[in-house]
Structure 1
């Protein structure tokens, strides 16, 4: 099928930003910071420096705490203040927040953001102290820089797969993988964040996987089986999202808005794959080995999608040379509120 020339020639950065919608950096930070100054917030993590982001369910703050020694040492933390929806019962709000924190704090991996503590803020709100990544998120990098070079995108993709592999081994599916939820350290380490939609598909004492029926996530990254009424394996959802993230990194755009037949771009992909043809976006960015992996992650049949562990064993991914931070697993700061980090180390903040 012939491709729409206007769609192919549109500015890539604009196209990506339009597909993902308005980004959180457009919020009124000054008014929110003023209201926070009146809250009885936890002092152990220092003072608010600025608002670094906001999502549907929370606002992220950067906190700085100076340790009085010679010379002084600055420590940086991220604090996620969970929003309570209008009219939402307090018990429901607290259950949702505690569930997210329970999952996030149980995961200890170099490619997953580290959650330290759940704390009360004011009378009814809760907040989560987390590891701070001064490199921002992958979405912002794509909007500012456009498509990434092959080596950089490959490195991020391999790190993402490592994080997914660990999560799935722990019985957790993220269910909302997208560039906004992938944070970057100053040294180039990628970390999965925001477990608000995550679910436990298998507990440690279980063997059988609990299937899911609930659709969740963000438009372009939602797998097609979620639009049907049948149950599905939540692990295959994360694999699909990882494939879309890689396409976004290499092309600076999302291939479609929604993976259902109402979307013209997705229909193009559907027709190409059913006819045994390659899809132009994937054909343009890959070689034989990488294209084979990408098509497998975006297989229309979720039962045929490989596991993250299987993808990591493919010849292409095994040969990806990661940056030093990804190879060594360096943290932007040592875990826990009792650790320190010098201002010089965070000169990129």
Structure 2
């Protein structure tokens, strides 16, 4: 998780005696809060070797039955199953006193959103370097595990030692019909609005792998332009922009090489069946020349 501090950096967690005993036995210590989200808080702590870790704390009494029964098991399964160099590593998951504590790799560089806020749009080589790493993580999820992330965004790409770490698998789901060897359509319209594919905006069943690719396109666009490619306040206007020929060309903040523009626009093909795949992304000329 990210090192970005919470607005309440002095907020500490109070552990019940049973949980504290478990943590002491395993050598974990929880320090101050880093941030707080809809489904829990994230704290900084240390492990038995006194190395920094991030701890996501989820109060099961504070979340709805649908989340506990549907999304939480998926997230925990994804966290345990996704082992990749560009995915946040999970050290331990402990359930105690109606709380779940997820101990994970601590990322000292914040997230891409924070980087863009501080530094502005990235130069092509850096954007290509970090985007390629993210693409490798998503490609692994799609092609090896048949899992769709379903909430890819710059806030969920963390930085540590100049490398990216994909995180937040709250909406991740295995989305493959193994009997028929094809993707399963999704009717759960999850994710984050600026990253919605046209199918999600239009509330139509969608291919979640293709929706991830669209979100990756938004991520790449943000990295290079430091703004979103489409306006998202009004779904009808957003859909109009997404489906309007050549609209994207009006959103670039500067001139980009032809191969980069071709790759960028291949993410935003409205027809899911014609949209680029993550495997094809990694073979693209702009990726191969490392954005230089």
Same fold (TM over 0.5): yes
* Unpaired runs of at least 5, structure 2: none
2:284 pairs with 1:314: yes
Partner SS for 1:286:
coil
Cα pair 1:223 1:259 within 8 Å, conserved = no
Q: In 1, distance between residues paired with 2:231 and 2:6?
A: 21
Please report the TM-score for the alignment, with normalisation by the length of structure 2.
0.86
Q: In 1, distance between residues paired with 2:146 and 2:84?
A: 14
Per the alignment, do residues 25 and 263 of structure 1 end up closer, same or farther by CA in structure 2, a change over 3 Å counting? farther
User: Once the two structures are superposed, what CA deviation does each residue of 1:226-262 show, in whole Å capped at 9, x if it has no partner?
Assistant: 1334322110111111111111111222223429653
2:213 pairs with 1:239: yes
**Cα distance, 1:79 vs structure 2:** 1.1
User: Once the two structures are superposed, what CA deviation does each residue of 1:272-308 show, in whole Å capped at 9, x if it has no partner?
Assistant: x2xx565222373521001001101011222211110
Match of 2:107 among 133, 137, 140: 133
2:182 pairs with 1:208: yes
Aligned length, in residue pairs: 284
Match of 1:155 among 129, 136, 143: 129
Cα pair 2:6 2:36 within 8 Å, conserved = no
Please report the TM-score for the alignment, with normalisation by the length of structure 1.
0.73
2:10 pairs with 1:30: yes
Q: In 2, distance between residues paired with 1:232 and 1:59?
A: 31
Per the alignment, do residues 92 and 315 of structure 1 end up closer, same or farther by CA in structure 2, a change over 3 Å counting? closer
Q: In 2, distance between residues paired with 1:138 and 1:205?
A: 38
* Unpaired runs of at least 5, structure 1: 1-23, 68-73, 323-349
2:41 pairs with 1:59: yes
Q: In 1, distance between residues paired with 2:281 and 2:41?
A: 34
**Cα distance, 1:148 vs structure 2:** 1.6
Alignment map for 1:122-271 (pairs within 5 Å):
123-169=97-143, 170-185=145-160, 187-202=161-176, 207-258=181-232, 262-263=236-237, 267-268=240-241, 270-271=243-244
**Cα distance, 1:219 vs structure 2:** 1.1
Q: Which residue of 2 aligns with 1:100?
A: 75
Q: Which residue of 2 aligns with 1:116?
A: 91
Cα pair 2:124 2:291 within 8 Å, conserved = no
Which structure has more RCO (C-alpha within 8 Å, separation ≥ 6)? 1
